[in-house]
Chain A
């Protein structure tokens, strides 16, 4: 099986800041990896480069073998992204938002069923005719994620998907992510250790744009001699200081 994501010495530098500094990473098809790191570690920038939202300054990145710069057209068909900032069309209803995304990604005969299926999966039925701007923050986020999934991406990027969700909604979203994980590759960023621990096959810990550690939870525990992701993270984070 090929790699779903492969990056080589990926760098993104802004005028006064190197946001991502030589990221080399491979993610297998069907894997779920979690990007962990303190604020400003470069998680979002990594996601943006891999979804053609921002151009890498140097290095190489491929999604399912397609280069994010040279084959960006192909990459855009393969990826779905739920940005860190909730982004929906505010004046469209939940259903219209989903229909819109479905229209962009799917053949005509598939849109109606995809919309219905997604509304069910995300328990949005009650709100389907509500305008997005009238939704609560948590539901808006759910919609934003649903919009990333409806296009049937091969590789899905979720930037802090459960930020602002209540405990129940978070658990429900976890179940949905578990379900999706069977078919597609997922990269998620999070500040919640339980979340990474519950969902991720492998965990990437980033700091200052660099990968500090990468591996399964067990591997990271062995490496640091700590138990549980939180202690592992703290031990790695403290070492960096």
Chain B
């Protein structure tokens, strides 16, 4: 545990010394939130379109931000793997557990800060606009978004381990665009049918946003809350497990 924490500390320093992580993980979600709210304010009330209303946006923005956490995890891991620093640590008593959680923990912390900051911004916007948000729901979301944060860091870890420094960001960007669409981050396209609908149902992204939206609404119904929570926790667990296996086998392969 001592070594996990030492490595987590190192990675946390790396993240927070990189201005890009502030820009993408903290500032960008807020900017998107503002842009989308401006879009919302320009939609006439009579249209009855609540898609970009702040209560819908805030849930989406939490998951949107976490997708950048995925990107940064992937970049961090891929970059380390291409440097001799990581190889040097292979001859230290650090085990793959220490590496995996050393990458994930600082990202979870970043996700909490990110969710908190984004939801604070959402709250301010809700004060300005005519739709009010529940503070308890917002605070609860910060905590209940941890499973999906874990899920996204694990995905980042998997791609960072499998791809090189050049490919990892590309693949994650594709995932971010795809995830935004099928995760229903900006608009809740649950009504749409066809292939995309089925794909969405099979991937955990949609459940992550649905979960965040329900918690913000303080709606703890089975379909809205319990089911998505189960799906996200299960996905996070499985993906973390896969990430550990992938990292461990990569570490072994590097020593051949």
Q: Are A151 and B92 in contact (CB under 8 A)?
A: yes
Contact of B93 among A53, A76, A100 (CB under 8 A): A76
Contact with B along A73-95 (1 / 0, CB 8 A): 10011010101011111111000
Q: Which of B82-96 contact A (CB under 8 A)?
A: 83-85, 87-94
Q: Are A100 and B9 in contact (CB under 8 A)?
A: yes
7 contacts between A and B (CB under 8 A): A52-B255, A53-B87, A54-B256, A100-B6, A100-B9, A103-B3, A104-B94
Query: Closest CB-CB distance, B88 to chain A, in whole Å?
Result: 4
Contact with B along A89-112 (1 / 0, CB 8 A): 111100010001101110010000
Bound CA–CA A105/B3 (angstroms):
8
Query: Closest CB-CB distance, A203 to chain B, in whole Å?
Result: 24
| A interface bracket (residues with beta carbon within 8 Å of B) | 20 to 34
Interface status of B2 (Cβ within 8 A of chain A): yes
What is the interface of chain B mostly: helix, strand, loop, or mixed?
helix
Bound CA–CA A131/B17 (angstroms):
11
Bound CA–CA A103/B18 (angstroms):
23
Query: Closest CB-CB distance, B165 to chain A, in whole Å?
Result: 14
Residues of B within 8 A of A120 (CB): none
| Given A51-B91, A55-B256: A92 and B84 interface contact (C-beta under 8 Å) | no
Q: Are B13 and A96 in contact (CB under 8 A)?
A: yes
Q: Other CB < 8 Å A-B pairs besides A54-B256, A92-B10, 13 of them? A: A54-B255, A55-B256, A73-B93, A76-B92, A77-B93, A85-B84, A87-B88, A88-B85, A89-B85, A91-B17, A101-B92, A103-B5, A103-B9
Residues on B facing A (Cβ under 8 Å): 2-3, 5-7, 9-10, 13-14, 17-18, 83-85, 87-94, 255-256
Residue of B nearest to A88 (CB): B85
Q: Are B83 and A87 in contact (CB under 8 A)?
A: yes
Q: Are B13 and A91 in contact (CB under 8 A)?
A: yes
Residues of A within 8 A of B89 (CB): 104
Bound CA–CA A19/B256 (angstroms):
13
Residue of B nearest to A79 (CB): B91
Residues of A within 8 A of B3 (CB): 103-104
Residues of A within 8 A of B83 (CB): 87, 90
| Given A81-B91, A86-B84: A55 and B255 interface contact (C-beta under 8 Å) | yes
Q: Are A53 and B9 in contact (CB under 8 A)?
A: no
Pick the 3 closest A-B CB pairs, nearest first. A103-B6, A87-B84, A51-B91
Q: Are B87 and A83 in contact (CB under 8 A)?
A: yes
Bound CA–CA A225/B131 (angstroms):
94
Bound CA–CA A100/B12 (angstroms):
12
Bound CA–CA A231/B82 (angstroms):
40
Residues of A within 8 A of B91 (CB): 51-53, 76, 79, 81
Q: Which of A36-88 contact B (CB under 8 A)?
A: 51-55, 73, 76-77, 79, 81, 83, 85-88
Residues of B within 8 A of A104 (CB): 2-3, 6-7, 89, 92-94
Residues of B within 8 A of A53 (CB): 87, 90-91, 255
Residue of B nearest to A147 (CB): B88
Residues of B within 8 A of A83 (CB): 84, 87-88
Residues of B within 8 A of A100 (CB): 6-7, 9-10
Q: Are B6 and A91 in contact (CB under 8 A)?
A: no
